[in-house]
Amino acid sequence: MSRPVEVQFQQLDLEGLAQLEGRIALIFDGDKPATPAARALNRLTKGALARAMGSNDCAQMKPGESFELAYPVGLAAQAVQLIALPKKASVEAARLAGAAVARGLHPHCTTLIAEAHPRAAEISFGLAMRAYDFSPHKSTAAKAIGRVAIALAEPEKVAALAAPMAAVVEGVFFTRDLVNEPANILTTDDFAARLAAMQDLGLEVEILEEEQLAKLGMRALLGVGQGSESPSKVVVMQWRGGVEGEAPLALVGKGVVFDTGGISIKPAGGMEEMTMDMGGAGVVAGVMRALALRRAKANVVGLVGLVENMPDGRAQRPGDVVKSMRGVTIEVINTDAEGRLVLADVLWYAQERFKPAGVIDLATLTGAVIVALGHENTGVFSNNDALCNAFLKAAAAEGEGAWRMPLGAGYDAKLKSRIADIVNSCGRDGGSITAAQFLQRFVKDEIPWIHLDIAGTALLKSDSALAPKGATGWGVMALNRLIRDQFEPK
């Protein structure tokens, strides 16, 4: 997998500033050099820093933005990057400051001077998150990144604060790699193997194959994958870090490794992006990795349904009727509404087997949620205000956009089928809501449940604050924080 850049936390050495090579980044606050490092650099550069800090360019900078001095006199470094960040900056601004450094990492060495800034750990987190590059399939070598160091007044203290954040970064990178991988590489077999390898981190991983799924009655899930050469699977990952016997939180992910739409085939334009239709499963996997790496004191089980939706002589047809594990029969109106069929069976299995304290499912489920919310927010649907509000609070704290959407009995009427219990597709109007209403049929009334439709946030066509264009890893940070705040002892 893509490895996060190794950030070294070191003692600030004012006497060695002139000899620092590569690139220097300096956190500053105000219109003149006010800290020991800033004053020292200003002396070395014959007043160039003071002139820059007092300029209109720097005055107009927002927290987290930067200004660059190239080839400054008096320094061995090729550039000094000035980053505006007040001492009382928000977490978001601090992460943006780190991301600004990450965009210009030097092939030889980059030294970020944060001195005693109270948000230094968050700055390092933003740097690590933005320094992501997915290039294993390019013939040219990836851009070289030299040593990255953060110079501080108390490096050991900041390193301790940053350690659990580093586990989250690795979880996010794992998710991004999975979502970015092409479908000829990330088959259902390969996906399951990557998850099984996390047993080395302390996760218990179990792979349920098609024969086992058939015995369990997962005909809705199996119907989606029956036109593919890749076998359908369910992978169960357990992290037992909490009180023994305490009910776990269950995370359930849609893992359609490629979605052609099946017999209801998609238009050719943009179909190449359907390699990301396993984004929900990717987020579940990334969260489980982060929990294991930081040794979370919670019981969490992650379940992902891995299938491929292909047109074939054996493929499911519009008009077919399948029986879910719950026993509910489903008329398949549209084979491109396949993710909810996968989730229906995995949701029921998760509740039957684990009796969870709550269930959160994630899926790149509908284009309708993009129409409603664009690419800024994930659609959030829930039957439980307490769990939903806790999640929304966690997402806001991590800067991951999330917006609660409605559920209601009025939408249920559209699910009625003439020949089965329900249909799997209800038309365009309210499409993300009726999809959530479908899923709610497979959630027990007493189980707190959240459905996250990440179709608009899992993969972007342009850079975001903490990621280059492509997979974002949306949800790993928010779910990790939710688990930390709500499911671990204070």
Catalogue the active-site residues. Answer: 266, 340
Grouping H, G, I as helix, E, B as strand and the rest as coil, residue 104 is: coil
CB 286 within 8 A of CB 174: yes
- DSSP secondary structure string for all residues of 30-61: SSS--SHHHHHHHHHTTTHHHHHHTSHHHHTP
- Residues pairing with 207 in the sheet: 235
| CA-CA-CA-CA torsion sign (322, 326, 328, 332) | negative
C-beta atoms surrounding 46 within 10 Å: 12
Reported as type and span, the H/E element at residue 404 is strand 402-404
142 DSSP 8-state letter: P
C-beta atoms surrounding 5 within 10 Å: 21
First to last CA, the chain: 32
Residue whose C-alpha is closest to residue 166's, from 483, 477, 490, 486: 477
**93 Cβ neighbours under 8 A, 6+ residues apart:** 62, 63, 64, 85, 86, 119
Tell me the residue type at 432: S
Integer-rounded Cα radius of gyration of the chain:
24
